Structure 1
């Protein structure tokens, strides 16, 4: 896992020599050269309000360089975001630019809804390769990655200090997690807080136990394999045997994040965008560390990128923004809200929280990260079907075996199998 540190340093030096990620110089296109012309307006949609200030800064910087382009940004809540895009993108009523994650790229790219990115002036070598791969198809890039969701463990140093327990280290195993979670649990605190959903929770345990979540065909689930049952039993014991974590019913009443920020849970798993929120709540009491290892080291990896609509009436201006989004200037601004896909900017993100917080653990986890395991057909519906059964298991309404068998059946039903 430590290989990533030397790689990041080398990549940073290389980026500096090249004057940064996306440091290639481009000539202004005709629309920019038309001084005094009516500005071309582009609509940009995204879902995360925590990015509001950052997105405003990105747009301001872009418009300063392109005075004939105006970008209108709109934040749409996650629950409405994808429905709106699925309705609008096939028509000419959708946004020109929008955030797109890996899961929905599996749907939007085959349906011809994303415009391919011209990478002539994009320094793709400065980005995490897997992030580019996740947003590509048939050798073409369809979104410029700007945010990576790797998974690491966060912990509250104050709760460890109160019990006189040493902080977690990068060489912890599942056994260490279970032992220390139990030791940190008392009548007012949980030693650990389960995440029964996929990306930040159960998929990580499956991958660490050697489970191929979906076969190579992308549609055959392995949730109920022996190794999967073993991984779920480990988590089940944390909740119901050791009582070191709240169960799914309790988490529906007060979320994992709220419990962690309130100091009610000593440890939990999360993706990199949550670090800023948790740091605001806990300050220097927040610590980050690589995930405890099972049979192997692993975590999920998701990517979010800026995409352009294939239906946009302004493809040249869309391309200009996508090139800007790949630059070190833009990626560094985005580091104020999340971990960018450009390695140089990712280091800037980690340094924001200070050395003692060790946000670099999320960068280190990329060395053992696996692309988020999703069905290649109906990825959102199949993921939801799987997570519904996980909720039943960790609410105690189904056994592990019953829940996983039902999860396979539910996914197959969504796939029409």
Structure 2
């Protein structure tokens, strides 16, 4: 199973957003707030049938508590991937929702549409508990740092998952939370056994975002950045980036301790079958491991010094502006209620996602889920290491494609890190301009 879902039609989407941002507005609704007035808010959940039903029951509960509020909810589109196109099309007719699920990678485009609410002032209220969300999740709903366009909806991160059977067979000590890059490389080399086709580590070389986002923690831990401070050019070809890719190349090419996955999914399957000692993955992987009966453990990523940064792919509940104070108020109130610890335990935690808020880590609901999927608690705690968000700029897809190809080529011995990253940076910068 692969957590990452690639953002769709980014070039067309960006063009559509720019074209529509100048369109005339619809007639305004309530210009002064009346909390008791009857109001209907529209919610696109972006979920499959089972998850949608869970959210539907929560919406019904909110309606009972607030009889003047009606929540008109639907999945919004036939799949989450189609939601962005649906939203962009809805902007021109002003029939877009009050609340919609959105991949975090869309947030910059949504802010640029001039259709989103800015809730920055409201989330400063201590009662909102804004600091209970991870740094990465907060950054994702604040794509330019100027506006806050919604609430975090789902959070995840990459952790190191190790196969106890493979470690025991090789007589290697299990990973610890203070592992360095050197510890990681040494263990991967010792776990590798050509006679049994067993590898120490698995890494995607398909050149997709799966390839790319597993590289970002190495870049950040080495002191590097994806983008320049003003966001107009890439910086992954820095000395930090070269050092990070050189490290991975050493494992893949020199040590031959890395299974180079051409499919994005095969490494997970081989790990579950006791053929790979370590993978970096997230909570979605635990379902497959439980089903396969794999003996595994989870720790935070190996790091440099005390830096064990990870990468997260937060998704969001985007809030939209209809020039109606009543709809604006209740869209915010409902989304805050939905993302509170109490409701999140019945939503994200119940379906096996990580808790949105740090306050949920000690809850009974999460403790029960940890019993079902051991290691989930480590992944939840690892959210504190998600300190940097992946860029949400419209050109991120070009960045990902450029560096993903470079990483794949280098790990397969087809180039040197410096030249490959410089070429990728030149290509990405050309596209960004």
Q: 1:253 to 1:355 in 2, by over 3 A?
A: closer
Equivalent-residue separation in structure 1 for 2:113 and 2:392 (angstroms): 16
RMSD of aligned Cα (Å): 3.2
- Aligned-residue offset at 1:284: 6.8
Equivalent-residue separation in structure 2 for 1:62 and 1:101 (angstroms): 21
Equivalent position of 2:229 in the other structure: 216
Equivalent position of 1:287 in the other structure: 297
- 1:153-184 Cα distance to aligned partner (Å, 9 max, x none): 11222222333322111111111111111222
Q: 1:28 to 1:315 in 2, by over 3 A?
A: closer
Equivalent position of 1:106 in the other structure: 108
Residues 123-272 of structure 1 aligned to structure 2 (within 5 Å):
123-125=128-130, 127-128=132-133, 130=135, 131-136=137-142, 140-186=147-193, 187-195=196-204, 197=210, 200-247=213-260, 250-252=261-263, 254-271=265-282
Equivalent position of 1:57 in the other structure: 54
- 1:237-281 Cα distance to aligned partner (Å, 9 max, x none): 22222222222xx4228533333334332211123x424434433
- Aligned-residue offset at 1:320: 4.3
- Verify: 1:401 aligned to 2:411, yes or no: no
Q: 1:335 aligns with which of 345, 349, 356?
A: 349
- 1:303-329 Cα distance to aligned partner (Å, 9 max, x none): 222112335995455334313222223
Equivalent-residue separation in structure 2 for 1:365 and 1:305 (angstroms): 19
Q: Secondary structure at the match of 1:330?
A: helix
Higher mean Cα deviation, 331-340 or 354-363? Answer: 354-363
Equivalent-residue separation in structure 1 for 2:401 and 2:81 (angstroms): 13
Q: 1:194 to 1:309 in 2, by over 3 A?
A: same
Equivalent position of 2:316 in the other structure: 305
Equivalent position of 1:36 in the other structure: none
Higher mean Cα deviation, 163-172 or 372-381? Answer: 372-381
Q: 1:379 aligns with which of 396, 403, 408?
A: 396
Residues 91-102 of structure 1 aligned to structure 2 (within 5 Å):
91-102=93-104
Q: How many residues align?
A: 377
- Aligned-residue offset at 1:412: 0.5
Indicate if the aligned counterparts of 1:171 and 1:292 stay in contact, CA closer than 8 A.
Answer: yes
Indicate if the aligned counterparts of 1:95 and 1:309 stay in contact, CA closer than 8 A.
Answer: yes
Q: Secondary structure at the match of 1:210?
A: coil
- Aligned-residue offset at 1:407: 1.2
- Aligned-residue offset at 1:185: 1.9
The two structures have a TM-score, normalised by structure 1, of 0.78
- Aligned-residue offset at 1:235: 0.8
Q: 1:184 to 1:259 in 2, by over 3 A?
A: same
Higher mean Cα deviation, 390-399 or 216-225? Answer: 390-399
Q: 1:390 aligns with which of 383, 392, 407?
A: 407
Indicate if the aligned counterparts of 1:149 and 1:301 stay in contact, CA closer than 8 A.
Answer: yes
Equivalent position of 1:6 in the other structure: none
Indicate if the aligned counterparts of 1:145 and 1:306 stay in contact, CA closer than 8 A.
Answer: yes
Equivalent-residue separation in structure 1 for 2:263 and 2:156 (angstroms): 23
Equivalent position of 1:10 in the other structure: none
Q: Secondary structure at the match of 1:171?
A: coil
Q: Which runs of 5+ in 1 are unaligned?
A: 1-26, 33-39
Q: Which runs of 5+ in 2 are unaligned?
A: 1-33, 65-69
Equivalent-residue separation in structure 1 for 2:266 and 2:80 (angstroms): 17
